[in-house]
Structure 1
Amino acid sequence: MNIELEEVLSHEAFRRAGPVIRAGAAFVPGRQVRWVHSSEVMDIAPLLSGGELLLTGGVELAAASAKQRRQYIRDLAARSIAALGIESGGPLKTIPADLIQTAEAYELPLIELRKVAPFVQIAQSINSLLVTRSVDLLRQADVLSQNLAAELANGGGLKELLQLLARQIPADVTVLDGAGTVIEQAMAPAAAETRSEGDLPPLEFDISQRGTVTASLRLCPKRDGDSSWAQVVGDRAASILALALHGRHAPDLVDVAGKELVRSILGGVQGQRLRQLCRTAGMDPDDQFVVVLGRPLGAGCRWAGVERLVRKHQTKAIVYVQQQEMVAVAALPAKRSRARRATLLSELKAGVVDQPQVLVVGPVSAGIADAARSLAETRLTFDLAPAGTGPGSVIDADAFVIERLASQASGDEAIHHVVDELLGGLIAHDDARRSRLLETLDEWLASGCNTAETARVMHLERQSLYNRLEKIFELIGGDPRGTDRLAGLHLAARLGRYLRSS
Structure 2
Amino acid sequence: MALTVAELLEFDAVRDAEPEVLAGRDALDRPVRWVHSSEIYEIGPLLSGGELLLTTGLGLAGSDAGARRHYVRELADRGVSGLVVELGRSFSDIPSELVAEAERRGLPLIALRAVVPFIRMCEAANTAIVDEAAQRLRLGDRVTRALNEALISGAGVAGLLRTAADVTGAPIVLTTVSGALVAFFGVSDDHAAWATVDAGRAEAEVIVHGRAWGRLIAGSGSALAPEDLASTVERTATALAVEILRTGDPPTERERHAAALLTDLVAGGGLAPAETAVRTGLAGFRPPPGRPLVGVAVDAPETRPAVTLIDHAARLLGTSALRARVRESVLALVVAPDSGNPVSAAEAAFGEAGRRSGAPQITVALGYSVTEPTGWASSLEQARAALALALARTGRGAARPGNRPVVVSARTLALELELSRRADPGQLDAFVERTIGPLVAWDARHRTGLVRTLELYLRHGTNVTRTAAALHLRRQSLYQRLERIESLLGHAPADPDLYPALLAACLVAAR
Same fold (TM over 0.5): no
Q: What TM-score comes out, normalization by structure 1 length?
A: 0.45
Greater C-alpha radius of gyration: 2
Tell me the TM-score normalized by structure 2.
0.44
Return the structure number with greater relative CO, CA threshold 8 A, min gap 6. 1
